[in-house]
Structure 1
């Protein structure tokens, strides 16, 4: 039986059960069902069936159906029987039971994305706003909010009734507040938006309720941000409200300033007069309520962060006149002012403010701080102390002062995060933070051991300084975190290997044990010396680790998919190429040379031939890293930079070997600028820059290898081979997650029988689920057709299609098969931000049998 048909059969069996509990359970399970199988035909069938049972079911069932439909999110966009679903739901709208009508309104709110253009639905929702029944009115408000967010026509129609209701003196204030909150999510044209703002100004003057005023201002601000063209008008309204309430109503002043902060994110529409007017309130808020003062400072800080040149002069003046706040007794106010000052300093450096900031940050962090305020100050301090305009000695002095605090101080957990951030970005902090962390470890302070290990053993620290004995009594979860830190900081053998070996002796679950064993083998593969024997041992460990990660990548529970396996496979190919390269030169190195510079020419020619045969190994390794880069769509920027570094390093060896054998058409690879800044990237790039300049001296040779050229190449080879390798974060903790599910139709169970005479339409539906903020605008669907009999006729069909709301796509093929074949479907993604093309792991196979 077709998989979809079986799912529908099971659904019908549950929803038609005589037991209400089974009916409810079936409806609840539909949410996970459509998310696991988000394909149009299935989702449409289930939603239509739910609407049928909504008509005949009890109110309990209707409520569950409404909630389930509301949880389906973007899957509802796959429904194509819009009118049928709405027609069934509207049957219940004629019920005499107000609770049934309320459930209908809530359900219509849930499916607004597919019912937004239905005029009958619009009429029912608008009429329900006049209901005296509480639940029906709440359902109507929910539906109005949902439809206003999606339909300009509906907004235009409903605004007139909303206006009459809000202007009426007999309307309850709680219902007015509920309706006013709808303004924040309205989609409308310019004329309707202007009428809403005019209505808002009237309502603010006619009502005195504080909650109503707060809700109205927040909703109008959200609407202004949504429509963009009303930001200036809303800003003027908020400044006027602030002017009239700053001395009389701290609560309303705080609301006005909070909304001004939201509008400050759109500083490009602010005029200089707006900034001046806002800055004029600085004297009136300093002695006002703390929350009001913080709200003003936050708004100024957001404006400074936008770095608009026309605003910075005014902001500098405001900052100078508010300088006493550097030492304000309220840490909450001081934290906001420090952030404001840092934002201005980054754009407009000043020696006075630099010294004030250094003093204020230092004195603030040595005082006990609430966690939320401490986090803010540490975050801003990290931004300030890593700025290139801060002299190293001044920045280090602040850190040294903080390192003198007792380990029992309440701010120490916050300082650990600050020290980690600082030591990652600037090497000048590492001596102080590393010593502090080592002292904390030796004193057995009750602090997070993994974070202390990150500080104590930073990247490029000598292996002989690493002592893991103090960690062996810790829980295995902490041991794993420290070992992971070692792999990411390049201390595979010195730090990670002993801890992973200790974990391997514990009784762990099968999956965890396999993971630990694979990591142990990976840690053991770190080079110790530049020799063929060391490379053989490293290669052996990598081969075993690859098998372990291959096994783990096949598990459906593995969230990392196959990245770990591919990463280790790329390392293995690199190590193999390095070993072959060094082995090929061993004959040349060991051969006698009369002059010490020029060995026998036959040996030189032989070495050239061997080196030429090694170039494919290097090319294969380069291709593997390049492919891994294209498959790292979910990687953070630092992970992608680290993978790019490995690709560049092996590319350099390929370039150097090509120069040795006399290739003239070879181009030296270019070291691109990284997207992230860190100590790791800075030190590694310095090494690679030196390697580039060194290997470029080998260019233009005639292909005759000399002792001098070999020594020159081996000096670079030694540095590139023995340098630390930093496992990217993506290997352990992907910060983003993207999955694609494919469905091919027709073709039940992945098989299709066709006639050789008639072209067959094949449709590939895909559903994208991602945690990325930037949308996926375009996908490239490739159908690789492999014929069983005549391989020479294999071909690839490619379709470039746009996605629907970044979540769904459909690619259609019209293909004619003269013989049986199978189709391999693959998908590439086009990043909506950088317009780069990435490979995905999504795949599907269709077997096509030709009926002769």
Structure 2
């Protein structure tokens, strides 16, 4: 009900939570068990342990234990260890004691059992990434290739493939041997088929790559069977893709087999390899090869060959060069598309439409006018009509609708045509096809929402017909949600009439609870808070958990607060702001009660708190504007102006209050920016929402500075937010900002005279009213987390007892090692990826040693150390050396922030704290004077430099 997606790393799968040491100890007990079953059970649980605690100390210790089991156990246990190595490839480079791990595993290579040797070789292949240059293992692989046991030879081939992919030395040294084995007569054909893939990694230098390519080309006529040709062509294609220089010759070779070889599997393999070789770009392909390929597809009449050929063309036309050359109707590529765009096969027609769409969109982006664009639109509309009439091809319908949406993005003039077409088909479809069409209408409506208005009657009729069915299906329920969302889109920024409102409420009354929650969520996302208030009020008492109850109560109060701001009541703006603030405070209190350890709702609470801060600033500005009328300037205003040389002080109290409002709006804008920096996983629409809200604060701040501060300038022209197109949800906020800016231009007429006039105050009130009446679209990240990223830190050293301090000797330094792991949810890197991690360590003296006074300024001094590291396979580490200049108790704060691929810094955390206690330095031991009693002790304050005739008094 919370609408937050639970990520994979927060799931415990029913197992009790325990720390890394306890988990490793438990698995170690199983490894030492005398029962093979318990040992196997412990071994197979190690990959999950690595994912949960991916730190080098634990992984190194675990692999050493597994290596002992591999050395002492039977072949079945060794096979289990092999599977762990294969499943834990991401964590292999965290093994710090690689030599010891290899020594324990390598001892099995001398076994008399060929199966044991084979498992050992496969284990070496699985860990080849961390031991690529071990000569003894290279020698063992070469020796095992000459074994008489086929199982050992196959394992050696597997290990050779893995090492050749990692080691240039091994790949070059194995080239001649593999070549001799392939060309030799003693090796079976099946073994040769396994040896040929090794050659795809022989691309580390030009001579070796040329020799391998020549060998494979000689193999093709010598071994014309299908299996050999398939494997050899695949090897040649992988080799060409790695070297790039051989792509033209490989494309020519594949075209030769495509045209001359009659076997279907080989033709299909040629298409697959051409598809892979087309990804680097069509500019690498020879012009003649492209023409030959297009001619072959033009003459091809078999659908099972036409589809893979069209996929290759689709990759080729991603190159702007291909789109430019084939933008005219006279090209052969356009002839292929015209021939098959009305194909009876939906798959072929959809693939053809994708190619034409790519060409048109590329031309539109480059401001070129392609020929035959109307014919393309007509063929796409015909395909949509065909697919919606059949209703059993939702996959191909989705492809066609994606093409329609893409064309609308490239040229918005097409929006009305496609909306009219899709709206006319809504009555004739149901099930998944109806959902797909609604999604397409929503995507087009987000570009131009006014194009959806003509379909309002159709959508209301569909809602009424689905509502009256006795037992609606799940697809129909999803369709109702989508139809309601379309209504919210088309009425964004508009007033609701009674008929539409009644239709929505009738759907809600006949719906299930989850569907109603989805409808309410969509309503508040598009700023329709009256609908959200009505639905959330019904749902509040119909949930199974008090956390859900408080979550819904929070949403209800938030929606009610926003609906009060732009209501048509006769109340004053100040009264509406006060009521909205009260409801928002109730929402924040309910949100705190809804928080749980797994869903802390930090973003939601902070977003609401900043919204309340903004509304309070607006209310304070209204009261400040009233001061000009009710609080006159003091009698000593002229003297204050002369002393301060500030002409605005002539108006007394109102000037200071306005300047105070400037600071408050600036602080509110800073809060928006700080929240923005923490939202690394937010979708672009959410980030845009926070940018606009921050700019609102900046706008009011500049308006106030123009009135109450000399020399301030107001921005001119429309506001820009760094995006090409503003999302539909944010358009009302942008419109309010633009309208406020237009009104604010009138402030410039009086700013030069340093006067605070009633006209300026009226303009400020008007700006506040415009901004307050703008409906707030609650961003998607408030409800749903589509991308989830978490940084986990492990700090060394740690106190022996949690909460205690770490002791450091005076005059010494403390080495702090920070290790971290980046954990992802279901869709890693959906919006942005982590490029670097910034680790900050701050040290501050909290309290000095006992019985010692210290300057308060020293307590305010903070030592900051920063290190930027690049994560490797989601793991990073940083080391710091901290010095403590004086005794006392220090607080160490360790904080991590991330940098994305666009070099933007995000304050994601986490933060950890340690307490360090440094004792005072001991005073030097007193030294007895020569010739005196050893029991007499001279203190440091005694004068040791007395003249000979002077005696120290007894």
Q: Normalising by the residue count of structure 1, what TM-score does the alignment of the two structures yield?
A: 0.90
User: How far 1:56 moved relative to its partner?
Assistant: 1.0
User: How far 1:396 moved relative to its partner?
Assistant: 4.3
1:263 is matched with: 277
2:436 is the alignment partner of 1:417: no
Q: Gaps (5+ residues) in structure 2? A: 1-17, 468-472, 567-572, 633-647, 848-855, 921-954
1:759 is matched with: 813
User: How far 1:48 moved relative to its partner?
Assistant: 1.2
User: How far 1:290 moved relative to its partner?
Assistant: 0.9
User: How far 1:298 moved relative to its partner?
Assistant: 2.0
1:475 is matched with: 512
Secondary structure of the equivalent of 1:658?
helix
Q: 1:704 to 1:220 in 2, by over 3 A?
A: farther
Q: 1:56 to 1:343 in 2, by over 3 A?
A: same
Q: Partners of 1:343 and 1:80 in 2: how far apart?
A: 50
2:557 is the alignment partner of 1:506: no
2:721 is matched with: 672
Q: 1:752 to 1:69 in 2, by over 3 A?
A: farther
User: How far 1:537 moved relative to its partner?
Assistant: 2.6
1:292 is matched with: 305
* Cα deviation 1:619-660 (Å, max 9, x = unaligned): 221111101111122222222222212211222122222222
1:22 is matched with: 38
2:915 is matched with: 847
1:823 is matched with: 892
Contact conserved, 1:149 with 1:187, CA < 8 A, in 2? Answer: no
Greater shift, 348-357 or 79-88, is seen at 348-357
Match of 1:145 among 161, 165, 169: 161
Q: 1:627 to 1:357 in 2, by over 3 A?
A: same
Match of 2:787 among 736, 748, 753: 736
2:362 is matched with: 347
Q: Partners of 1:63 and 1:552 in 2: how far apart?
A: 48
User: How far 1:334 moved relative to its partner?
Assistant: 0.9
Match of 2:864 among 784, 797, 820: 797
1:160 is matched with: 176
Q: 1:11 to 1:330 in 2, by over 3 A?
A: closer
User: How far 1:338 moved relative to its partner?
Assistant: 0.7
2:878 is the alignment partner of 1:811: yes
1:598 is matched with: none
User: How far 1:77 moved relative to its partner?
Assistant: 1.6
User: How far 1:433 moved relative to its partner?
Assistant: 4.9
Q: Partners of 2:840 and 2:260 in 1: how far apart?
A: 64
Aligned CA-pair RMSD? 3.1
User: How far 1:137 moved relative to its partner?
Assistant: 4.5
2:67 is the alignment partner of 1:67: no
Match of 1:772 among 810, 820, 829: 829
2:610 is the alignment partner of 1:570: yes
1:723 is matched with: 774
Secondary structure of the equivalent of 2:911?
strand
Contact conserved, 2:327 with 2:370, CA < 8 A, in 1? Answer: no
1:521 is matched with: 557
2:538 is the alignment partner of 1:489: no
Q: 1:525 to 1:206 in 2, by over 3 A?
A: farther
Contact conserved, 1:618 with 1:651, CA < 8 A, in 2? Answer: yes
User: How far 1:508 moved relative to its partner?
Assistant: 1.5
2:320 is matched with: 307
Q: 1:171 to 1:686 in 2, by over 3 A?
A: farther
Q: Partners of 1:169 and 1:353 in 2: how far apart?
A: 60
2:757 is the alignment partner of 1:706: yes
Q: Partners of 1:734 and 1:238 in 2: how far apart?
A: 45
Greater shift, 496-505 or 310-319, is seen at 310-319
Q: Partners of 1:748 and 1:233 in 2: how far apart?
A: 65
User: How far 1:667 moved relative to its partner?
Assistant: 6.1
User: How far 1:432 moved relative to its partner?
Assistant: 4.1
1:337 is matched with: 352
Match of 2:410 among 373, 377, 387: 387
Q: Partners of 1:721 and 1:187 in 2: how far apart?
A: 65
Contact conserved, 1:637 with 1:676, CA < 8 A, in 2? Answer: no
Contact conserved, 1:145 with 1:182, CA < 8 A, in 2? Answer: yes
Pairing of 1:222-241 with structure 2 (within 5 A): 222-241=238-257
Greater shift, 17-26 or 807-816, is seen at 17-26
Contact conserved, 1:345 with 1:353, CA < 8 A, in 2? Answer: no
1:596 is matched with: none
Match of 1:557 among 583, 592, 598: 598
User: How far 1:273 moved relative to its partner?
Assistant: 3.5
Contact conserved, 2:893 with 2:913, CA < 8 A, in 1? Answer: yes
Contact conserved, 1:441 with 1:452, CA < 8 A, in 2? Answer: yes
Q: 1:118 to 1:719 in 2, by over 3 A?
A: same
User: How far 1:703 moved relative to its partner?
Assistant: 4.4
Q: Partners of 2:213 and 2:769 in 1: how far apart?
A: 70
Contact conserved, 1:641 with 1:676, CA < 8 A, in 2? Answer: no
User: How far 1:839 moved relative to its partner?
Assistant: 1.1
Q: 1:690 to 1:94 in 2, by over 3 A?
A: same
Q: Partners of 2:559 and 2:21 in 1: how far apart?
A: 49
1:597 is matched with: none
2:466 is matched with: 444
The total of aligned residue pairs comes to 835
Contact conserved, 2:517 with 2:535, CA < 8 A, in 1? Answer: yes
1:455 is matched with: 486
Secondary structure of the equivalent of 2:775?
coil
User: How far 1:256 moved relative to its partner?
Assistant: 1.7
Q: Partners of 1:73 and 1:642 in 2: how far apart?
A: 40
* Cα deviation 1:269-328 (Å, max 9, x = unaligned): 23444432322223222x2x2132122222222222221268634886124322132212
Contact conserved, 1:147 with 1:154, CA < 8 A, in 2? Answer: yes
Q: Please tell me whether Structure 1 or Structure 2 has the larger radius of gyration of its CA atoms.
A: 2
User: How far 1:823 moved relative to its partner?
Assistant: 0.8
1:85 is matched with: 101
Q: Gaps (5+ residues) in structure 1? A: 593-600
Q: Partners of 1:159 and 1:821 in 2: how far apart?
A: 61
Secondary structure of the equivalent of 2:843?
strand
Contact conserved, 1:224 with 1:231, CA < 8 A, in 2? Answer: yes
Contact conserved, 2:124 with 2:159, CA < 8 A, in 1? Answer: yes
Match of 1:275 among 290, 297, 301: 290
2:6 is matched with: none
Secondary structure of the equivalent of 1:785?
strand
Contact conserved, 2:346 with 2:396, CA < 8 A, in 1? Answer: yes
Greater shift, 310-319 or 504-513, is seen at 310-319
User: How far 1:350 moved relative to its partner?
Assistant: 5.2
Greater shift, 92-101 or 642-651, is seen at 92-101
Q: 1:688 to 1:243 in 2, by over 3 A?
A: farther
2:578 is the alignment partner of 1:536: yes
Q: Partners of 2:221 and 2:575 in 1: how far apart?
A: 85
